[in-house]
Structure 1
Amino acid sequence: MSLDPKDRTIVEATQAGLPLVPAPFAVVAENLGLSEAELITRLTRLKQDGIIRRIGAAPNHYRLGMTANGMTVWDVDDAHVDALGEKVGALAFVTHCYRRPRALPDWPYNLFAMVHGETREEVQSKRTEISALLGSASRAGDILFSTRILKKTGMRLRGKEA
């Protein structure tokens, strides 16, 4: 599926974020020579068609005081990992949760859940809650605390090349 030129321009204009103003869609629409209604209609369709996954805020957790960040990793029985992963991902304090293949024999973990907190103790307490939720389906777990901030971005379309 290819994007029509207007949709591609919209994706390029919004992929790095929306302006932090009271009416961000109006500003983007004006910059693109569109009406705000057309921009919103097109974004809605792009989301419904699966071209874009979401439009949402991505707060900087460090600026919010959440400086203790840990990726909890779990070795969960394959028969239960999907159902339990959904439950872990639904916890209010888990920002993202996903399943990955194990890399045996060195890496037995197949479920990952990111937890943020103001202290390592807070993150460890949240890890304990996840452990209780997983119960006997989890054979092992660990936590990898962040040591530095990495710039995170999703996929980006490049502008039209001359």
Structure 2
Amino acid sequence: MSGVPARSVDAIDRRLIVATQSGLPLVVRPYHQLAEQAGIAPEEVMARLTRMLDSGIIRRIGAVPNHYAIGYTANGMSVWDVADERIDELGARIGALDFVTHCYHRPRRLPEWPYSLFAMVHGSSRAEVQAKVAEIAELLGAECRAYDVLFSTSILKKTGLRIGA
């Protein structure tokens, strides 16, 4: 958090959260459409969303593409065993790659699961994903002790936590 004091959510904030929790409207001017629905100015929509981001009420505003719909039918979670003291630095380098959609740290579960760095890679084929994973392995070099790729077989859930209207 940015050190901004916590603030409560009023009725308009709540309407904006509910209206955007499945994504922004797919129109040319999404904030204007939200403003019209909420009965406020577009600038107020943007100010409220910024304030909620800054205070931690919401975590992010971003596009959530359906990778299957845009042709990325091979989706692999690459998992990496790297030194814990280097995980932030190495994760930032992996996360900056244009073909990695998200990268994060998870606890190891030794002895069965040595991996603690995860990076999602999408491609139009498993071979394409494997080639991208090989690029990550090359980037990590000797920092990588082991890795694997877990390929998706279906989409089970494509939404986060939702609140009701």
Q: Which amino acid aligns with 1:80?
A: R
Q: Taking structure 2 as the reference length, what is the TM-score of the superposition?
A: 0.90
The one-letter code sitting in structure 1 at the alignment partner of 2:34 is: V
Q: Displacement, 1:5?
A: 2.2
Cα RMSD (Å):
1.3
**What is aligned with 1:134?**
140
Residues 25-66 of structure 1, C-alpha deviation per residue, up to 9 Å, x if partnerless? 112111112122211211121122222222222121111111
Shift of 1:4: 2.0
Aligned sequence identity (%): 60
Residue of structure 2 aligned with 1:20, choices 22, 26, 46: 26
What runs of 5+ residues in structure 1 fail to find an aligned partner? none
**Local SS of the residue matching 2:85:** coil
Given residue 50 of structure 1, which amino acid in structure 2 is its aligned partner? Answer: G
Q: Match for residue 51 of structure 1?
A: 57
Query: How far does the alpha carbon of each residue in 1:111-155 deviate from its partner, in whole angstroms, 9 at most, with x for none?
Result: 100000011111001111111111112111000011111222122
Unaligned runs of 5+ in 2: 1-5
* Matching residue of 1:9: 15
* Equivalent position of 1:98 in the other structure: 104
Pairs within 5 Å for 1:40-79:
40-79=46-85
Partner of 1:54: helix, strand, or coil?
A: coil
Partner of 2:3: none
TM-score (norm 1): 0.92
Secondary structure at 2:65 match in 1: coil
Partner of 2:151: 145
The answer for the alignment partner of 2:123 in structure 1 is 117
**What is the rounded CA distance, in whole Å, between the counterparts of 1:54 and 1:93 in structure 2?**
20
Q: What is the alpha-carbon distance in structure 1 between the residues aligned to residue 85 and residue 49 of structure 2? A: 38
- Give the distance between the partners of 1:100 and 1:7, measured in 2 at CA: 32
Quick check: 1:88 aligned with 2:94? yes
- Misfit runs of 4+, over 4 Å: none
Instruction: Measure the CA separation in 1 of the matches of 2:46 and 2:83.
Output: 43
TM-aligned CA deviation for residue 103 of structure 1: 0.6
Q: Name the amino acid aligned to 2:164.
A: R
1:8 counterpart SS class:
helix
Secondary structure in 2 aligned to 1:80? Answer: helix
Report how far residue 157 of structure 1 moved: 2.2
